[in-house]
Amino acid sequence: MMEWLIAEVFAKYNYWVSIVLMLIGFYAMIAKDNLMKKIIGLNIFQTAIILFFISLGDVSIGGWGGGVTEPIVKGALPWETGGIVEHGVVYANPLPHVLMLTAIVVGAATTAVALALVIRIHEAYGTIEESEIIEKEQERELP
């Protein structure tokens, strides 16, 4: 029992955290009435995906998740180790970092346009609760 717990839950904790955050954001997008809460749910969902992707870029040699530095070359600056590039330093994979920078910025742009749309909806209907908007639409269509 203990080995199953350690192997399945504690060794893969990044997947569990990311799944929990993703489901919280997804629930907020579907089940809440207020339009602002839906936008916040969208943001939480995007953050969970970004965390998951970056945690995939971890590399460890000889051990359980230790000893990896960020992908900036150590020893290249003259005040660190006298300007000689060190050997034997393990760097994390830089490819997920590059792709996720783009994803963060696209998320921010999407949130900005969504907020502008919510302002327009408030002008047209007078409210931002989704159930009231549906009622007003149904009242309008009755002949």
Q: Could you give the C-alpha distances from 76 to 68, 73, 80, 85, in angstroms and in order?
A: 17, 6, 7, 6
Nearer to other proteins, 63 or 143 (CB): 63
Tell me the closest approach of the beta carbon of residue 143 to other proteins, in angstroms.
Answer: 28
**Residue showing tokens 């742009």:** 109
Q: Using CB under 8 A, which residues numbered 64 to 123 contact other proteins?
A: 64-65, 68, 70-73, 76-77, 85, 87-88, 91, 93-95, 97-99, 101-102, 104-106, 108-110, 112-113, 115-117, 119-120, 123
Q: Is 37 in the site for other proteins (CB under 8 A)?
A: no
Mutual angle of helices 13-31 and 35-55, in 10-degree steps: 160
Q: What are the backbone angles phi and psi of residue 24, rounded to the nearest 5°?
A: -65, -45
Which residues are CB-neighbours of 66 under 8 A, at least 6 positions away?
60
Q: Which is nearer to other proteins, 14 or 127 (CB)?
A: 14
Tokens (6 digits) for 22: 């993703």
Select 120 or 142, whichever has its Cβ closest to other proteins: 120
Instruction: Catalog residues that contact other proteins under the rule CB under 8 A.
Output: 7-8, 11-12, 14-16, 19, 22-23, 26-27, 30-31, 55-62, 64-65, 68, 70-73, 76-77, 85, 87-88, 91, 93-95, 97-99, 101-102, 104-106, 108-110, 112-113, 115-117, 119-120, 123
